[in-house]
């Protein structure tokens, strides 16, 4: 069992489980995820993909499939949508690999950012999320930490995926990725107040789901 509070959440990495704290509240010596750094082998792989070598592209896909799919599944409500986001993301990866700079980020981190933006694009294309909400402060619903402590990773992710698409996306961007409401607003095309509302709604719905599904 793994415990979380309002600022600490669990996310899967392949077959591993890693604890993640919001970036703005994370100690400097704590890393949120296991990172695949840009090794010489990865650099060779990148060069092959840039040259449109199909074997290199297939190898890159297989190497990062699990970690990238986990990200896509957090932003969608079903596996088919997750696969669509994943494939669109990989197309962007292949198209933009020549822009990748290993000095600025690991290959994993760079690809992760592309997958997140691919999920946002999917949201824009498939949902109406621009609620006209302008608020400065939102009362944060209480989530029973003891109840959440009893959930395993798959149960928690299952609940997150039951959130409405826009609310699910803002929840992931704020909690999982560590973006501020201002940054989320610019990325998704909503106001800061709307972003805050979606986060509050996500927490309210999660608490309701925990109780209704009697997972505790």
Find the CATH number of the domain harbouring 101. 1.10.1740.10
CA 125 to chain centre: 18
Classify residue 28: in a domain, yes or no: no
Task: Answer yes or no: do 53 and 109 share one domain.
Answer: yes
- Mean pLDDT to the nearest integer, 185-203: 92
Would you give the DSSP letter of residue 141? P
Final residue of a structural domain among 110, 126, 142: 126
N residues, the chain: 216
Structure tokens at 155: 């149960």
Final residue of a structural domain among 126, 147, 166: 126
Q: How many Å apart are CA 36 and CA 195, to the nearest integer?
A: 31
CA-closest candidate to residue 41, choices 58, 55, 60: 60
Classify residue 104: in a domain, yes or no: yes
User: What pTM value is reported for the model?
Assistant: 0.68
Classify residue 164: in a domain, yes or no: yes
Q: Mean pLDDT check: name the lowest of 39-43, 47-51, 60-64.
A: 39-43
Would you give the DSSP letter of residue 175? I
Task: Answer yes or no: do 54 and 120 share one domain.
Answer: yes
Task: Answer yes or no: do 76 and 101 share one domain.
Answer: yes
Q: Mean pLDDT check: name the lowest of 33-47, 95-109, 160-174.
A: 33-47
β-bridge mates for residue 10, sequence order: 19
CA-closest candidate to residue 213, choices 146, 139, 153, 162: 162
* Residue 132: strand, helix, or coil: coil
Element (DSSP H or E) covering residue 18: strand 16-21
Burial class (CB in 10 A: 0-12, 13-18, 19+), 29: exposed
Whole-number pLDDT of residue 44: 86
Q: Could you tell me the residue range of the domain that residue 84 belongs to?
A: 40-126
Task: Answer yes or no: do 161 and 117 share one domain.
Answer: no
Classify residue 85: in a domain, yes or no: yes
- Mean pLDDT to the nearest integer, 4-22: 37
Task: Answer yes or no: do 122 and 138 share one domain.
Answer: no
Task: Answer yes or no: do 162 and 112 share one domain.
Answer: no
Final residue of a structural domain among 126, 148, 170: 126
Whole-number pLDDT of residue 158: 85
Classify residue 76: in a domain, yes or no: yes
Q: Mean pLDDT check: name the lowest of 23-27, 78-82, 90-94.
A: 23-27
Classify residue 22: in a domain, yes or no: no
Whole-number pLDDT of residue 88: 97
Task: Answer yes or no: do 145 and 179 share one domain.
Answer: yes
Q: Across the chain, what does the average pLDDT equal?
A: 76
Classify residue 15: in a domain, yes or no: no
Question: What are 98-106's contacts with CB under 8 Å, separation 24+?
Answer: 98/50, 100/46, 102/38, 102/43, 106/35, 106/36, 106/37, 106/38
Q: Under a CB-based contact definition with an 8 Å cutoff, are residues 197 and 137 in contact?
A: no
For tokens 């990773």, name the residue.
153
Q: How confident is the model at residue 32 (pLDDT cuts 50, 70, 90)?
A: very low
Q: Under a CB-based contact definition with an 8 Å cutoff, are residues 192 and 131 in contact?
A: no
Of all residues in the chain, what percent carry a pLDDT higher than 70?
67
Count of structural domains within the chain: 2
Whole-number pLDDT of residue 209: 87
CATH classification at residue 151 = 1.10.10.10
Whole-number pLDDT of residue 156: 78
Summarised one tens digit per residue, pLDDT across range 105-164 is 999 999 999 999 999 999 888 865 444 444 444 444 444 455 555 566 677 788 888 999
CB atoms within 10 A of CB 13: 18
């Amino acid at each position: 069992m793994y415990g979380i509070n309002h600022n600490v959440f669990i996310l899967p990495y392949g077959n591993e489980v890693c604890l993640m704290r919001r970036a703005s509240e994370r100690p400097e010596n704590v890393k949120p995820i296991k990172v695949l750094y840009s090794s010489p082998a990865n650099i060779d792989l990148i060069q092959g993909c840039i040259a449109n070598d199909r074997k290199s592209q297939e190898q890159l896909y297989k190497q990062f499939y699990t970690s990238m799919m986990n990200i896509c599944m957090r932003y969608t409500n079903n596996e088919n949508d997750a696969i669509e986001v994943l494939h669109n993301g990989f197309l962007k990866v292949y198209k933009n690999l020549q822009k990748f700079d290993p000095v600025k980020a690991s290959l994993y981190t760079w690809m992760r950012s592309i997958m997140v933006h691919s999920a946002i694009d999917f949201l824009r294309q498939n949902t109406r999320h621009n609620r006209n909400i302008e608020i400065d402060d939102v009362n944060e619903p209480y989530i029973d930490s003891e109840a959440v402590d009893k959930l395993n990773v798959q149960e928690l992710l299952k609940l997150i995926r039951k959130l409405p698409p826009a609310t699910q996306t803002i929840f992931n961007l704020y909690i999982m990725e560590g973006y501020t409401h201002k940054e989320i607003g610019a990325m998704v095309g909503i106001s800061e107040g709307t972003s805050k509302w979606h986060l509050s709604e996500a927490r309210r719905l999660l608490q309701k789901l925990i109780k209704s599904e009697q997972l505790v």
